[in-house]
Structure 1
């Protein structure tokens, strides 16, 4: 579904990504794991073409999207839920969700999809008319994910969905991610909580200072002594 080959990104003299390659197959949950500054968010931004690539190619569903404009990539049903949520704080919950469907005109299906979002996130339905800037951190993350789902993604890029959340909410968010995947949405997950990410993923790639240093089945990585030592606190 997604193929990233020899991707390089630089910020001035700093080489943020040094020729990384990886693949995401349809139906999978794939995690990118690494410490702060490893290049995880840069990878997602480069896929979405929010930042300029130095070199490399990105192919999605057989289409070369390497130089495609970000808004055109959205039309390919490749959707990113950014780090920090970045919802429209002055709009209501309902209006934010409607913004997620701004590329669509199938009104009946949009209504059905909004109900699907409310099934996944009942708290959003309870707060449907509430101004989004007044929501809690967990509710904001739910809204950001719900807004992404309103675009009917084939591939959903999730950037640090558990950041800043209480442990009980982290468990809830990861449970919802697995439910989203089971509805047929493929997921590429960037996450510092390596244990939680690996526990729900099919496969994972470990990024260190712009290089992929290890990859494999999530179940194997979660028991790998080097991964345990570096990322799982063991």
Structure 2
């Protein structure tokens, strides 16, 4: 049984079919990436899993449970957590308050403290800015905070939507190093990412989305060498 199973997922926005019956799976412990150009349906896929958009048809199972029509807050409680595109931190709250919001559904005080320390090990910059109002952080710091806030809810599956978008190259490297550390610590990851080369270099497997259809899938290292993938997504 896969950790996440998506079958024949169809999503429409009015007359436009954003997803045309896609199927894929994520195994426990994997880093899986969805790559594709703008408008291919990557974010829609994540929103469908989290039940933030209405599905026309298809089923989604998480750890054997059918979550297709489960409310978004219940899905979060199962341990399926999304870091949205564009960071979306609570701008008027401090770094610490944002992290506490991530743990709002948890009751295990000592474990919450331990997890906050771990977040500060992963993101030392956040520790330096613990009392700072989040809206005043740089874009890179806000991305780190959005990821740390998600980790505070103890995800078993983390959905990352464009974590490197708009970041300077040096920060992109840092974010990808951190994604690898999160994976090594035992969190399964489904990554949507514009930077196809970076995504493929840390993923186990990848699915390529083209206008709502999975056009190709396979081992990430094989896809990096694939000539069609190279010319379409890797600038060569």
* Common fold: TM-score over 0.5: yes
Q: What CA distance in whole angstroms lies between the structure 2 residues aligned with 1:85 and 1:185?
A: 20
Q: Give me the whole-angstrom Cα distance separating, in 1, the residues matched to 2:145 and 2:94.
A: 10
Paired residues for 1:1-234 under 5 Å: 1-234=3-236
* CA–CA separation in structure 2 for the residues paired with 1:212 and 1:103: 35
1:64-86 Cα distance to aligned partner (Å, 9 max, x none): 00000000000000000000010
Secondary structure class of the residue paired with 1:21 = strand
Q: CA deviation at 1:164?
A: 0.2
The aligned length equals 234
Measure the CA separation in 2 of the matches of 1:45 and 1:34: 16
| Structure 1 gaps, min length 5 | none
Partners of 1:126 and 1:111 lie apart in 2 by: 17
- The TM-score normalised by the length of structure 1 is 1.00
Structure 2 runs not aligned, ≥5 long: none
**Moved >4 Å (runs of 4+):** none
CA RMSD of aligned residues (A): 0.3
Q: Return the TM-score normalized by structure 2.
A: 0.99
Could you tell me how far apart the structure 1 residues matched to 2:186 and 2:24 are? 21
Give, in whole Å, the separation in 2 of the partners of 1:154 and 1:100: 14
